[in-house]
Structure 1
Amino acid sequence: MSSFREIAVPLWSSGLMIVATCLAFLAAGPIFETGLERALGRQGHRLRSLGLNAEFVSTLIGVWVFLTVALFLWLGVSLQIWPLAIVVCLMMLVAPRWIVALLIRRRERLFRDQMASACFSLGCAVRAGLALPEAITRQSRELPQPLAQEFRIISQAYGRGQPLRRALEEARDKLALEPFSLFVMVLSAALERGGPLDESLARIAGSIFETQRVERKLEIETASGRKSISTLACFPFLFLGGSWFFVPSMINVLFETIWGQWALAAIALLVGVAFVWGNAILNRRF
């Protein structure tokens, strides 16, 4: 009976804490959503400008925060591992901003990659005799997403009577990407003064292709470094798990004593900081 109580009481208390956390999040839903929107700040605006579903990302972050709070209560209240609970949950709360920044970088890169083929195709359409608005409308049907959506917005704005130059400038201000800004500058100059638009678009496409080549080269050169960072970040935890199979009493001391818990928390914090710092160094562009 005593052994059953030893197992049932922690499980029952953990379940009650999870239920209480769910009820608290449901009760404070609007306040939580407002706080989450403010926490995202510029990142949320950037997600929307790049055509990503910011509301869905906010929902996922809300679920992540809920799981973080539940984990904090489980580690701290049920297992009484407060140092590890504090450090691990603080790292989990910081992680969403890093993940959202990664999503934004990948989306921006996708736009840059698609801009090269878009400039080349648009130049071919203009060379074939199509007017610039007609060429943009055609590209909005042929280009892949998400760039096709931006071309479609420009085409629809022009169809509603808005000047083409203004529609291009609005798209430029929304995306805030260097290749697209250069693209709009060339089109605006062609609309204002004329000139060989197809040749200018071909030069832009060549410049973007060269930038892509350099980025791919940098990725290849830093791939081994990224793999080493991930391996080194996982090694302390793999070593800890492997040691538990051979000397469980020594590993149990780390979780049962306050100094052992602080040692584990310090290790987790150092590994997390080193992982983020290493990736930040590899992501730098000189």
Structure 2
Amino acid sequence: MTPLILILGISTVLLAGLVAVFFVFAPPAPRVARDRRSAPGVEHVSALTRITDRTVGALDSVASRRKSRFFGQEELELAGVQSEPSGFLVLVTSAAAVLALVGALLGLANGSSVVLALLFAALTPVLAKVVLVMRTAKRRAKFAEQIDDMVQMIAGGLRAGHGLSRSITAVATESDSPMREELARVVNETRLGRPLSDSLLTTAARMRSPDFEWIAQAIAINQETGGNLAEVLDQVGKTIRDRNEIRRQVSALSAEGRLSAIILVALPIAVFLLLMATRPSYMSVLFETVLGLISLVIAVLLLIVGMIWISFTVKVKF
């Protein structure tokens, strides 16, 4: 352990002790609440809030001139992130600054502070993109699990004498997320004059759900030809339940392969980070020599190719 790392560790422990003393063992005297100190109707806005609002406004004005964004509104909505693209970009930028500082501190021991700071800062938006993709996939999977209950609720509302629009509105009110948000979007679009079948097909394309597309097609055909829609939805719901049962069986049988893929991908990354923290001098050759940098780039490319290969291997389509 180098003396610099030891000093940083001791400083961190002392700082934590000071925080514990002044904020836990010796808390400040109770103060009057802010709403009692402010005049009625006056909203207190802190300096940090004003700076954040100006930053977000500036980013919105710049991003409005561009047709494409790295973090778009639709992408955030699909991931279930309740934030504007500019606000999310501010969060990613702040995280990149913090990770750059962490990389600089880790590289103090072997003189690679600049390289690690730039690497950590460049990887932050990539990690944010990966997190959004994972949240979107999880949200779509949960949406697919809710389709069976949604079909039964719509069919029950039709049997009770309600209209199709009224049944969908009731399901949108009583369902959980993400079905609630997607059906609320359908209800709002139909109130603005868009045909119900088009809104349902658009939702099926957004969520990449063939089961929901069947429901949309069944409703569109019923609106053109007529008939007992409740019975049609019952048959579609039975087919969806059978498909979900097969999907769960396939997921259980392929769980071992997915776990092996996660371990194989995470193991070299974990070993690299462990060696960087425990033996920085051993890993410094990767950053100080041209051959080391080339080897590092090749290793990252091979890891990405291996991740894509394994993902296609463990993904079973039926």
| TM-score (norm: length of structure 1) | 0.67
1:38: Cα distance to partner? Answer: 1.4
| From 98, 113, 123, the counterpart of 2:145 | 113
Q: Does 1:184 align with 2:213?
A: no
Q: Could you say which residue in structure 1 is the equivalent of 2:266?
A: 234
Deviation at 1:151, TM superposition (A): 3.7
Per the alignment, residue 130 of structure 1 pairs with 162
Q: Deviations over 1:28-50 (max 9, x none)?
A: 95279627961235xx42543x4
Report the CA distance between 1:200 and its aligned residue: 0.9
| Structure 1 residue 55 corresponds to structure 2 residue 83 | yes
171-180 or 100-109, which moves further after superposition? 171-180
CA distance in 2, matches of 1:214, 1:117: 17
**Structure 1, residues 91-125: CA drift from partner, whole Å, max 9, x if none?**
44433333322222222222222121111222233
User: What is the aligned partner in structure 1 of residue 74 from structure 2?
Assistant: 45
Which of 137-146 and 73-82 deviates more? 73-82
Q: 1:40 aligns to what SS in structure 2?
A: coil
Tell whether the 8 Å contact from 1:51 to 1:146 is kept in structure 2 after alignment.
Answer: no
Structure 2 CA distance for aligned equivalents of residues 83 and 46 of structure 1: 31
- In 1, distance between residues paired with 2:97 and 2:212? 42
- For the 8 Å contact 1:83–1:261, the answer to whether it is kept is no
Deviation larger for 128-137 or 98-107: 128-137
Residues 179-237 of structure 1 deviation map (CA, whole Å, 9 limit, x = unaligned): 33322222232233221212210121122222222322232233222222222233335
Secondary structure of the residue that 1:226 maps to in structure 2? helix
Aligned residues of 2:103 and 2:117 also touching (Cα < 8 A) = yes
Q: Aligned pair 1:271/2:300, yes or no?
A: no
Q: Is the 8 A contact 2:265 2:303 kept in 1?
A: yes
Quick one: distance in 1 between partners of 2:152 and 2:223?
18
CA shift digits 1:61-85 (9 cap, x unpaired)? 5433444356457757964366666
Change in 2 beyond 3 A, CA 1:226/1:126: same
Please show how residues 1-286 of structure 1 align to structure 2 within 5 Å: 29-30=58-59, 34=63, 38-40=69-71, 44-48=73-77, 50=78, 52-53=80-81, 55=83, 59-68=87-96, 71=99, 75=103, 79-80=111-112, 90-155=122-187, 162=193, 166-176=195-205, 177-239=209-271, 248=279, 251=282, 254=285, 257-258=288-289, 261-262=292-293, 263-264=295-296, 266-283=298-315, 285=317
With over 3 angstroms needed to count, the CA separation of the structure-2 counterparts of 1:26 and 1:272, relative to structure 1, is farther
Q: How far apart, in 2, do the equivalents of 1:150 and 1:95 lie?
A: 26
Q: Distance in 2 between matches of 1:156 and 1:27?
A: 28
> Quick check: 2:56–2:86 contact (8 Å CA) kept in 1?
no
Judged with a 3 Å threshold, the aligned counterparts in structure 2 of structure 1 residues 66 and 258 are, in CA distance, closer, same or farther, namely farther
Structure-2 change in CA distance of 1:36 and 1:284 (3 Å):
farther
SS of residue matched to 1:97: helix
Deviations 1:214-267, CA, capped at 9 Å, x for gaps: 322232233222222222233335545666899x48626536742585245554
Change (3 A) 1:59 1:208: farther
1:36/1:58 contact within 8 Å kept:
no
Higher relative contact order (CA 8 A, sep 6+): 1
Number of paired residues? 262
Partner Cα separation in structure 2 for residue 233 and residue 157 of structure 1: 43
List gaps (5 residues or longer) in structure 2: 9-50
CA shift in 2, pair 1:184/1:110, >3 Å: same
**d(CA) in 1 for partners of 2:192 and 2:87?**
38
Give the whole-Å Cα distance in 2 for the aligned partners of 1:265 and 1:81: 18
Q: Which consecutive unaligned segments of at least 5 residues does structure 1 have?
A: 9-21
Question: If the length of structure 2 is used for normalisation, what is the TM-score?
Answer: 0.61
